[in-house]
Structure 1
């Protein structure tokens, strides 16, 4: 069983998939940072807030909660019922950016693959065996 597992791991596709997952996770972190640190503050400034991910609708505060009713993190930690539409919108924007970048990568890869897969046009095929034999027969008839 260990031998089969080693063979499975040694296959190129498994290793390529592992590398892709690791790079994808790192890339996801970069996109999340781009969204959280660059895009969402601009969107928040346009809509009047500094931190867009803190936009929420409080449905009910937990019993005995005495903290700020506008502090998203404190309310979430206390277990308040909320609709965190700002955090959801941030996640949607993260997804759209990541999906668009993956689309561009797949599109570029497909284009490069198609360029390399196009073969040079082959030289026109010569006469078939039957045609050659017919030519030889005709030539022999002429000489005879």
Structure 2
């Protein structure tokens, strides 16, 4: 079998295709969750804590050149090292929400699997020796 044929077999297997679909859907789902966190949740959290832009919370760790606007983007563009804890909190919250949603999805999938009716058991044919022994037993009873 040639290298190309082996690769083709590998690439066409169901698991690889399932994985590719999962990665694509996961990427799109990640963008949705990111938008929920960034556009819906973090503004409310920022309002509660009195900050308008929660992701812009940071502490400059180096000397700040004069004339630079005090924003995370401006400091990063100027090469000032920053401790961007607001961005970290946003990403951590994003992760927690995503993990919670996946937990709920898996929980529902497991519930649906448990509720599926069990297939009726098919009784296996007895071995030939068992059938012969039963015939002998039945003939002795007569």
Q: Same fold (TM over 0.5)?
A: yes
Q: Which runs of 4+ in 1 moved over 4 A?
A: none
Query: Aligned-residue CA RMSD in angstroms?
Result: 2.3
TM-score by length of structure 1 reads 0.81
Tell me how far 1:81 sits from its aligned partner: 1.6
1:47-86 superposed Cα distances (whole Å, 9 cap, x missing partner)? 0011100011122234x442123x1111122121211111
In structure 1, stretches of 5+ residues that fail to align are none
What are the ranges of 5 or more consecutive residues in structure 2 without an aligned counterpart?
Answer: none
Residue 134 of structure 1 deviates from its aligned partner by 1.9
Give the TM-score, by structure 2 length: 0.82
Check if 1:14 corresponds to 2:16: yes
Q: How many residues align?
A: 135
Report what 1:109 is aligned to: 109
* Contact residue 61 and residue 75 of structure 1 kept, 8 A: no
Per-residue Cα deviation, 1:20-46 (whole angstroms, up to 9, x for no partner): 000000100110011000000000000
Q: Is residue 120 of structure 1 aligned with residue 120 of structure 2?
A: yes
- For the structure 1 residues 87 and 114, does the alpha-carbon distance in structure 2 shift closer, same or farther, using more than 3 Å as the test? same
How big is the shift at 1:88? 0.1
Superposed counterparts of 1:90-105, under 5 Å: 90-105=90-105
CA distance in 1, matches of 2:135, 2:111: 42
Check 1:83–1:111 CA distance in 2 against 1; reply closer, same or farther (3 A cut).
Answer: same
